[in-house]
Chains A and B, each alone.
Chain A
Amino acid sequence: MTRGTRDADGLRVDEAFRCGDCENEWYYTRNRCPDCQSATFSTYRLREGELVAYTTVNVTPPDVRSANVLGLAAFGDVRLIAQMSDDDPEVGDSVRFAGQYELREGGEKRARLTGVDGDG
């Protein structure tokens, strides 16, 4: 894969960042803590989150499944959008990352969001 995996390379899909100075947490790779600008941070694993919104996308890039169910999930203050393994989720569901899937064809295998009480 070319660009696009750059900021995701070497990271598990369920890894987020925690600032070593102010404990702020974030998901989308950046060089400094967005709150205190500290460059000292570590990663941690996201556990259980809540589904805030979801959409089923039918028109997808050639290397992405169709339909692609995408969920916007909140893990505390950390929010992210990720593929879901359930095709009929509900807003408010508890979700976690599980399984191993090629999110883009030929790409590294990564987990999808799945309902904690679901069958994913």
Chain B
Amino acid sequence: MTGVTISGVGITPFESDAERSALELATAASEDALDDAACSLEAVDSVHVGNVLTEALDVQGGLANAFVSAVGLEGVRADRIENTSASGASATHRGVEAVASGASDVAVVVGVEKMSDADTSTVTDAISKLTHGREYVQGITLPSFGGLAAGAYLDRYDAPREALAEVAVKNHENAVDNDIAQFQKEVSVEDALDSPVVADPLRLYDCCPMTDGAAAVVLERESDAEGVHVRSIGSATGTHAVAERPDPIEIESVSRASERTFADANLSRNDVDVACIHDAFTVLELLELEEIGFFERGTAWEATMRGETARDGAFPVNPGGGLKARGHPLGATGLSQVVELVWQLRGDLRGDRQVAGAETGFAVNVAGFGNNSVCTLLEAP
């Protein structure tokens, strides 16, 4: 146990082209989180901002300082945490450490990205620069890694192409009644199988979108505030160059980070009632579920096709739509997973949107194609 509680959460709508700036989105999400926590600005000791692209897209440098000023905080400790697509969970990790160590009584963690600040090819190139130089010269993009892994997975386990499509169908279905999701609409297996090829066998509907949005949490000590408990949080790096992994379908950073997180929490995989998995590509949901040990190797695709990971299934995965349908605003994604779990664990949601009886939630947020992974285990108040 970390002794840290999430006393409030806030999130903006996730959308393709937000009217507000990155700074305004971050401010809105954190004001909502402070309201939800019934916490005053004066109480805040530290601010941890997760963000990836604002300098790369030539929008804003020193984002944490700009944010602190915009939100009306004075004299706090603040910095920005960059860990590519896992920046949100890394910022959360730093915030939890600050409160757990006693350095902060109250920490605000906010993740934000406005990917519409530049055209698609500029953003794609900025993201592909997270690769090794010898990968970059080959024109490799993140979906390229996804395509290689997806082909290897389907071959290895003799799984049908529909297995990947089913992940997209499920996550879209889950986003239909998520008010902040980017795509609140269902898609069919046929839609997914007919969509254009991005990196064979991955098609457009296997890939997460580019998204604008922000999400925030307020962290306090369990002795000071009510809320969802941070049972543990852990991270681990993997190889930088993806080809250096002994097996193209293994993502060692995910297994390492999750082992640490379960060990620190003294919990097992069977204790988890609901999970948010980093499905930047459909195949990643399957690979990560197996890497963490929620399913045996080579079986997550069948479980998905049987409906086990649906919101009303035995093990609901990505009940808010995941990166695929809620959206993937890089720096905000890890926090949006935490916000979704907090809603589920507090029982805030209504009807089918709520996973019945969820007591323990797990999230994994992945940087690059497994360069780094951050896992979080949360427990109901």
Contacts and interface: CB of A to CB of B under 8 A. Distances in A.
Contacts of B157: none
B134 A79 contact: no
Contacts of B199: 55-59
Given A28-B244, A72-B248, A53 B152 contact: yes
Given A5-B136, A56-B200, A58-B196, A79 B148 contact: no
B125 interface: yes
A60 B241 CA distance: 19
Contacts, number: 125
> Interface residues of B toward A: which range?
35 or more
B20 interface: no
Interface string B109-142: 0000000000001001100110011111111110
B151 A107 contact: no
B121 A61 contact: yes
A43 interface: no
A79 B137 CA distance: 16
B58 to A, nearest CB: 14
Q: Can you list the 8 inter-chain pairs with the closest CB atoms, starting with the nearest?
A: A7-B133, A64-B139, A55-B147, A4-B136, A28-B241, A57-B199, A79-B243, A56-B200
Contact of A4 (B133, B196, B198): B133
B208 to A, nearest CB: 13
B132 to A, nearest CB: 5
Nearest to A56: B200
Interface residues of A, number: 40
6 contacts: A29-B132, A54-B148, A55-B151, A79-B245, A81-B135, A81-B144
B155 interface: yes
Given A54-B151, A103-B138, A104-B137, A72 B243 contact: yes
A58 B124 CA distance: 13
Contact of A58 (B148, B198, B241): B198
A81 B138 contact: yes
Given A55-B147, A59-B199, A70-B148, A27 B138 contact: no
Interface of A: 3-9, 11, 13, 26-29, 52-65, 68, 70, 72, 79-83, 91, 103-104, 107, 110
A79 B242 CA distance: 9
Nearest to B150: A55
Contacts of A11: 134
B139 A72 contact: no
A80 to B, nearest CB: 5
Interface in B318-373: none
A91 B152 CA distance: 9
A28 B129 contact: no
B141 A103 contact: no
Given A5-B133, A56-B199, A61 B248 contact: no
A29 B132 CA distance: 8
A83 B158 CA distance: 26
Contacts of B297: none
A57 B132 contact: no
